[in-house]
Structure 1
Amino acid sequence: MSEKWDKESILSLSGAFQTCRILLTAAELDLFTILSDGPKSVEDIARDKSWDERGLRIVMDALAATGFLQKSAEGSYSADETMLKLMAKNGSQSILPLVLHRNRMWESWSKLTEIVKTGSNPNPLGMASRTSEEVQDFIDAMHVVGSVMANRIVESLDLAPFKRMLDVGGASGTYIMAFLRKAPHMKATLFDFPRVVEMGRNRLTQHGFIDRVEIVAGDYTKDELPSGHDLVLLSAIIHSNSRDVNRMLYGKIFRSLDPGGTVLIRDYVLDESRTNPPDGAIFAVNMLCATSAGDSYTLKEIREDLETSGFVSVNLIRNGANMDQLISAEKPR
């Protein structure tokens, strides 16, 4: 159901960016990590970091006013256990990589008005244009987002028929680990850009899965996909592409799959009005800001493109509202 708006709620939303920006700046400055070893004064932090004392004081007072920090009567600042756990770099449940990713989204979303006027994105955020630090933050952010969802997705699937999966754009192996954890009989191949697969190798080694995973570096827009798989996963990939690029990708998957094999697509799947799920419609705006041709797609569009590539039995097998929808399709035997 659509949100009901009035004067107060519209004005509140239009000003909500201020608190958001303060938190993003705190993340960019890594203030919570700085405070992880105890309370500190503005003077101490400014001196250690060579930052402006006035600017830092104003931001830290605002963080205290909004409850992100605490300020003592003596003027020192601290963060409580929950904030350190979530927002410090070394926090046990750190979401800092995802918050830093959203800080970069702030920059791309700031171009939205001009993109709508011109129909052109001057700086799409492709992987090739990111610095090594930005790639690491993005991959870590996707792991933060994906860890819980991957387990939910996998629990809804029967993996008994499958022997070997290919994760296209598999990043650091978050979904591969969830699949292999549920299905001890399976092996997997992780396919992604060269500098990304090394992050995957590290994470898979750390969690004890590397012996069951082949690492293949490549670019699906240029390279054919490795063969010998009866299951291919496209997790949060197709929204970055135009339909033309997705049809090209589906064709490569079709050629790489064993006869009778299955492709699984996890993404937002919009209804025909393109307004539900609402988060999917908003995510399409994110793709407008971050890519040159990405979008959120409807089931009809995805089915048409898969069938054009030779797939049959295209079905929505899992519905949801949080990019947890799943489409399956089969390659005929």
Structure 2
Amino acid sequence: GFLESADRKIILKGKDILDAIDYAEVAHVLFAADKLGLFKKLKEKKTFEELHKELKVEKAAFKIFLNGLIAMNIIKKIGEYYENGEAIKELIETNYIWTIKFNSYFRDPLINLYNVVKKGQKEAKEIKEDKEGYMAYAQTMSSWDEITPKILQYVDLKNAKYMLDLGGGIGHFSIAFIEKYPNLKSKIIDTGEIVELGRKDIERYKDKILLEEKDFLKDEIGSNYDFVWASDILHYLNYEEIQHLMSKIYLSLNPNGSVAIHNFILDNDTNPPAAAVFALTIPLLITKKGFVPKKKDLVYILKSAGFKDIEAKNITPGTKLIIGKK
């Protein structure tokens, strides 16, 4: 609730801070239960001995852990049998249980924040590729459904024939653009486990979407594009890499082509608050080099690469859409 408006500062009162600590405690309990696979097991009723055997946990600590979960109403026990609590059942039924895994996957590194602040970004711990983590990430990206109509409102591709989607592994935005503009074809470039997940998602669009596993910084990205889309990738890069990428994008575009960038973007050091808070999570704690760029710096980089008619639109309280033309 603290990030409802891009124009508001986060003002925490004493009670807010205490509540935040309580919520963090609950969150880490949920993360641990999810990592153990407890919620999956408790889709069916299980006894303590069954859970102990299947999850391969230490008995005494596990018993205390289960008691705490019961006290929080996260799970419940009826007779000898344990099962998920109503809130967890609701998340499973509505297919939102992945939000726990996603938040665990990307927020666990916050524990390392002290070391990073004390010794620098070199202490960041890059996340190893993990299939379940990527699946949770893919589910989260599908939740961009809420903002996609707003993006489509600002991006006009009626004259475009061929687009490039950088880092768009699961194909969410490529699919959205193609469904609105049936004459459009897309190439997606991405790396890692998410590429395989993407192949499944875009199977029904195989005549219109090509997915290539490449490093868009190091490898050739192709040419003759009318439009290049880059969503949620800049905060993994340093300043020089963003410069390099924008130059590559410019050269890859046809005359009158355009680029659209969707990312957390700052207006200044502390605003919008959602972008400033995001800056101390994934960019600072995971990437070893990434940062959240400021709008003025990104506009300068785009102009230096050759782009003109640059405009910025607010999409969410922390993200912007930056559009430039060749």
Q: Which TM-score bucket, shorter chain as reference?
A: 0.7 to 0.9
Q: How many aligned positions are there?
A: 318
Distance 2:311 2:66 in 1: 51
Gaps of 5+ in 1: none
Structure 1 pair 3–163 and aligned structure 2 pair: CA distance change class (3 A): same
Distance 1:196 1:21 in 2: 25
Q: Secondary structure at the match of 1:47?
A: helix
Q: Secondary structure at the match of 1:231?
A: strand
* AA of the residue aligned to 2:274: D
Q: In the TM superposition, what is the alpha-carbon distance from 1:62 to its structure 2 partner?
A: 2.4
Aligned twin of 1:84: 89
Q: CA RMSD in A?
A: 2.4
Q: Report matched runs for 1:1-333 at 5 Å.
A: 1-36=8-43, 38-72=44-78, 74-79=79-84, 83-84=88-89, 86-87=91-92, 93-96=95-98, 98-125=99-126, 130-133=128-131, 136-137=134-135, 139-193=137-191, 195-205=193-203, 208-272=204-268, 274-286=269-281, 287-323=283-319, 325-331=320-326
* AA of the residue aligned to 1:328: I
* AA of the residue aligned to 1:281: A
Residues 139, 171 of structure 1: 8 Å contact kept? no
Residues 33, 84 of structure 1: 8 Å contact kept? no
| Post-superposition CA distance 1:169-205 (Å, at most 9, x none) | 1112121112112222211101112654333222111
Structure 1 pair 220–138 and aligned structure 2 pair: CA distance change class (3 A): farther
Distance 2:275 2:263 in 1: 9
Structure 1 pair 122–7 and aligned structure 2 pair: CA distance change class (3 A): closer
| Post-superposition CA distance 1:135-172 (Å, at most 9, x none) | 63464354344344335433553332322211011112
TM-score by length of 1: 0.86
Gaps of 5+ in 2: 1-7
Percentage identity across aligned positions?
A: 26
Higher relative contact order (CA 8 A, sep 6+): 2
Distance 1:247 1:157 in 2: 23
User: Which range is displaced more, 44-53 or 281-290?
Assistant: 44-53
User: Which range is displaced more, 8-17 or 220-229?
Assistant: 8-17
Structure 1 pair 64–280 and aligned structure 2 pair: CA distance change class (3 A): same
Structure 1 pair 85–161 and aligned structure 2 pair: CA distance change class (3 A): farther
Q: Secondary structure at the match of 1:300?
A: helix
Structure 1 pair 9–217 and aligned structure 2 pair: CA distance change class (3 A): closer
Q: Secondary structure at the match of 1:259?
A: strand
TM-score by length of 2: 0.88
Q: Secondary structure at the match of 2:109?
A: helix
User: Which range is displaced more, 225-234 or 313-322?
Assistant: 313-322
Distance 1:58 1:188 in 2: 52
| Post-superposition CA distance 1:267-299 (Å, at most 9, x none) | 112113x22221110111011111122111221
User: Which range is displaced more, 40-49 or 117-126?
Assistant: 117-126
Consecutive aligned runs of 4 or more in structure 1 exceeding 6 Å deviation: none
Distance 1:25 1:106 in 2: 12
Distance 1:156 1:313 in 2: 14
Q: In the TM superposition, what is the alpha-carbon distance from 1:51 to its structure 2 partner?
A: 2.0
Distance 1:118 1:82 in 2: 40
